[in-house]
């Protein structure tokens, strides 16, 4: 039970954190520009593709990105201490239109524009988690930091960005506006104004094929990818909780039977106590108290071993998740014991003293 709750608590705490971007009415078109190395041709192709798509009344905005995108499992991570302090972040390369297309929300600052790319320093945007962990208390507005080997200015902070999925732990993220190679901008994010008929996807595919002169573009619905990604975690959660529930039911039935058997064996004791003046509530309280006392000893022993996991750091799980799972496991056991002990104890309290002594 403790192991199951540790897993479930960790996943649900991650789930409570917002994704930070929109998935409804957003598509991602995956293209391949790896064979095209002429930057002038690529810039012209991307501009024409953007213009053709924005000319469609169903499309609100479009943005290009690199290979790191939501729900695709890709990661670009780097660490450095070039600024005199340690910095660990994931890199995401997206153009100046991405904030609008993805629906990002800012806690401070703004998104970069084309004019920012003409400046002396590389413009970057970070997420709130990276700001809290590394830059809180530091001057962002007037400071220059070395990020990914370049002098950079942090011009904005987005609230959240969990691109690995709803159940993933949010990572430190830095957004870059210029890709390392222009042909890396081969993912096209398309934000629709609303629901569109299925035939519109074919129309978008045709536009991409006509502009790029390639027929290998793959269009994926971001909402469908979110649902599928979440399903991969919901399934084991439901399965583990179902197995745990079945085992708990078996334990409850066994505990109920043991209590019933013990009460029947102690009828003489119950009758004698009633004869000596014990009330029904005192009889019921005695049996419930005995069961709770034994349960507390069992829980204490279980918690002693459970506490070794966070101390020894056996798994890469935050300690708070262990503590929540201990609390839930112990609480569930106590509730289960109370439920199983309540009815037999009530029946024991109803035993007539004369009848109990006569049977003995």
Indicate the pTM of the whole model: 0.81
- Domain match, 186 and 59 both: yes
- 293 occurs within a structural domain: yes
**Is 108 in a helix, a strand, or coil?**
strand
Boundary (domain end) residue, out of 162, 196, 216: 216
Which among 216, 241, 268 is the end of a domain?
A: 216
Which position has the token pair 């972040």? 89
Q: What is the pLDDT of residues 249-264, one digit of tens each?
A: 888 888 888 887 877 7
217 near 28, Cβ under 8 Å? no
Residues 169 and 186 in one domain: no
Mean pLDDT of the 72-85 span: 89
Q: Is residue 299 part of a domain?
A: yes
Number of separate helices (H) and strands (E) present in the chain: 12, 11
SS3 350: coil
Q: What is the pLDDT of residue 349?
A: 67
Q: Residues in the chain, how many? A: 360
Domain-embedded: residue 8: no
- Residues 126, 150 within the same domain: yes
Which of 353, 355, 59, 309 lies closest to 200, judged by CA?
59
Residue 4: both structure tokens together: 């199951």
Residues 244 and 341 grouped into a single domain: yes
Q: In this structure, are 236 and 338 located in the same domain? A: yes
pLDDT of residue 155: 95
Q: What is the mean pLDDT of residues 19-44?
A: 86
Q: Is residue 2 part of a domain?
A: no
Reported as a single tens digit per residue, the pLDDT across 276-298 is: 777 777 877 887 888 888 888 88
Closest CA to 3 of 252, 244, 168: 244
Query: What pLDDT, in 10s, does the model give residues 306-349?
Result: 888 777 776 777 788 888 888 888 888 888 888 888 877 777 66
Structural domain total, the chain: 3
> What is the span of the domain harbouring residue 203?
31-64+181-216
Predicted pLDDT of residue 26? 96
Give domain status of residue 89, yes or no.
Answer: yes
Domain membership of residue 154 (yes or no) is yes
Q: Find, among 146, 136, 141, 143, the residue nearest to 156 by Cα.
A: 141
Q: Is residue 9 over pLDDT 60?
A: yes
* Whether residue 169 sits in one domain with residue 185: no
Q: Which residue has the higher pLDDT, 90 or 182?
A: 90
Residues 155 and 275 in one domain: no
∠ CA 303-305-311, nearest 5°, is 100
Indicate if 233 and 102 belong to the same structural domain.
no
Q: Is residue 118 part of a domain?
A: yes
Asked whether 65 and 163 are in contact (CB, 8 A), the reply is no
pLDDT bracket for residue 351 (50, 70, 90): low
Specify the pLDDT at position 352.
Answer: 63
Q: Is the pLDDT of residue 359 over 60?
A: no
């Amino acid at each position: 039970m403790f192991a199951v709750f540790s897993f479930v608590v960790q996943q649900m705490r991650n789930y409570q954190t917002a994704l930070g971007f929109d998935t409804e009415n957003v598509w991602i078109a995956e293209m391949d520009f790896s064979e095209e190395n002429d930057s002038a041709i690529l810039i012209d192709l991307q501009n024409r593709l953007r213009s053709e798509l924005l000319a469609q009344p169903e499309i609100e905005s479009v943005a290009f990105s690199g290979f790191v995108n939501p729900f695709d499992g890709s990661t670009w991570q780097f660490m450095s201490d070039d600024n005199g302090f340690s910095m660990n972040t994931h890199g995401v390369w997206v153009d100046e239109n991405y904030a609008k297309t993805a629906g990002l929300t800012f806690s401070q600052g703004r998104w970069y524009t084309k004019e920012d790319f003409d400046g002396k320093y590389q413009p970057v945007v970070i997420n709130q988690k990276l700001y809290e962990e590394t830059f809180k208390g530091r001057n962002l507005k007037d400071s220059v930091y070395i990020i990914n080997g370049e002098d950079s200015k942090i011009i904005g902070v987005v609230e959240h960005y969990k691109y690995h999925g709803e159940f993933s732990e949010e990572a430190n993220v830095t957004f870059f506006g210029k890709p390392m190679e222009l042909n890396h901008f081969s993912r096209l994010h398309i934000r629709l104004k609303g629901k569109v008929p299925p035939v519109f996807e074919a129309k978008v595919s045709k536009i991409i094929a006509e502009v790029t002169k390639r027929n290998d573009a793959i269009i994926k619905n971001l909402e469908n990818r979110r649902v599928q990604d979440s399903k991969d975690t919901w399934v084991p959660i439901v399965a583990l909780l179902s197995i745990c529930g079945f085992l708990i039911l078996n334990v409850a039935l066994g505990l109920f039977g043991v209590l019933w058997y013990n009460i029947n064996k102690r009828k003489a004791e119950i009758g004698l106590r009633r004869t000596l003046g014990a009330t029904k509530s005192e009889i019921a309280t005695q049996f419930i108290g005995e069961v709770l006392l034994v349960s507390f000893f069992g829980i204490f022993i279980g918690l002693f071993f459970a506490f070794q996991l966070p101390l020894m750091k056996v798994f890469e799980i935050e300690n708070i998740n262990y503590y929540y799972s201990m609390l839930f496991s112990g609480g569930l056991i106590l509730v289960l014991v109370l439920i199983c002990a309540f009815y037999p104890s009530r029946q024991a309290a109803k035993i007539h003293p004369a009848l109990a002594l006569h049977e003995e």
